[in-house]
Amino acid sequence: LLPVLLHLFLYRKAVNPPSSTFLLLGPSGSGKTAFLTLLESASSRRSNTAPRTHTSQNATSTTVTLPPSVPIASNQYRSVNDPSLSETKRNPVKYIVKDTPGHGKLRSSQLSQLEAILSSKKEKSPISGVIFFVDAASLSDAAEGLRDCATYLHDVLLLLQKLVFSNQKHVSQAASSVSVLVAANKQDLFTALPAGSIKERLEHEIERIRKSRQKGLMDASAGAASNEDEYEVLGTNGEEDFSFQLLEDEVGTQVSVVGGAVVSEEDTEAGAAIRGWEEWIGARL
């Protein structure tokens, strides 16, 4: 019996490699490292292995698993009688999370990492999503935090837009399959804004950034904006005010804002505070 079980185990492992990568971005202090640590410890508890400790200053790529109770997209098409559908029996669904820890949290280097992965022809596990962390307690109106955070998100989305409209087919395809989750973190703090108002504020602030960019381009080209300039403006160069819906309509990139908190699992019911993000991830696996 033992060899059979071992064979089955190895077979399952082999047919179940992580297929998707999610990249963690966002201002420093927003909770990216804490989130990755939480995912790692929950995953290792599920698989009975010791969590890895890493103190690297380089980009880390970590394979984690989704809790079996979180639905995944590819399950929808399976037969109801498929035993793998049952929650407890489901193989652990793996995915990769990439973080850029340490002092190298320079935005330009995070952006070039995103561009490099999406432009590479050799990338084995393409990026399915960008998880953009936001400290929901630092985005009140007067705060410098909002402008800073919106500028960063704007730059990430504009880079994605340029890659979607790239002339190179493989780049455009890779970029088109990326969706963005704005993780409105630290919802456990009473000063945190709920996801809905984070969304509104970010959209409003991005519209201001976009306006000044549009104006800059107009000035530079003396009133005659060229076709190429159109892609230099997020959500393209239309009349409408910016919204994430506009971006989805014009470019195809989906942005969702979901609240949560990276508090330790002991504090919450089995990680309920990050459930919304894991459901978003599951919908892309």
Task: Count other Cβ atoms within 10 Å, centred on residue 114.
Answer: 22
DSSP label at residue 133:
E
CA-wise closest residue to 110 among 96, 99, 122: 99
- Residue 8 and residue 2: Cα distance in Å, rounded? 10
The residues that bridge with 127 in the sheet, in sequence order, are: 21
Identify which of residues 61 and 74 has a Cβ nearer to ligand GDP in the complex: 61
CA-wise closest residue to 131 among 95, 170, 92: 95
Identify which of residues 140 and 221 has a Cβ nearer to ligand GDP in the complex: 140
Instruction: Please state the closest distance from residue 114 (CB atom) to ligand GDP, in A.
Output: 16
Instruction: Please state the closest distance from residue 133 (CB atom) to ligand GDP, in A.
Output: 6
Instruction: Please state the closest distance from residue 137 (CB atom) to ligand GDP, in A.
Output: 8
Query: Which residues in this chain contact ligand GDP in the complex, by CB under 6 A?
Result: 28-34, 133, 185-186, 188-189, 261-263
Identify which of residues 164 and 184 has a Cβ nearer to ligand GDP in the complex: 184
Identify which of residues 150 and 261 has a Cβ nearer to ligand GDP in the complex: 261
Instruction: Please state the closest distance from residue 108 (CB atom) to ligand GDP, in A.
Output: 17
Identify which of residues 33 and 161 has a Cβ nearer to ligand GDP in the complex: 33
- Residue 187 and residue 205: Cα distance in Å, rounded? 21
The residues that bridge with 54 in the sheet, in sequence order, are: none
Structure tokens at 65: 């698993």
Q: Give residue 272's identity as a one-letter amino acid code.
A: A
Instruction: Please state the closest distance from residue 193 (CB atom) to ligand GDP, in A.
Output: 13
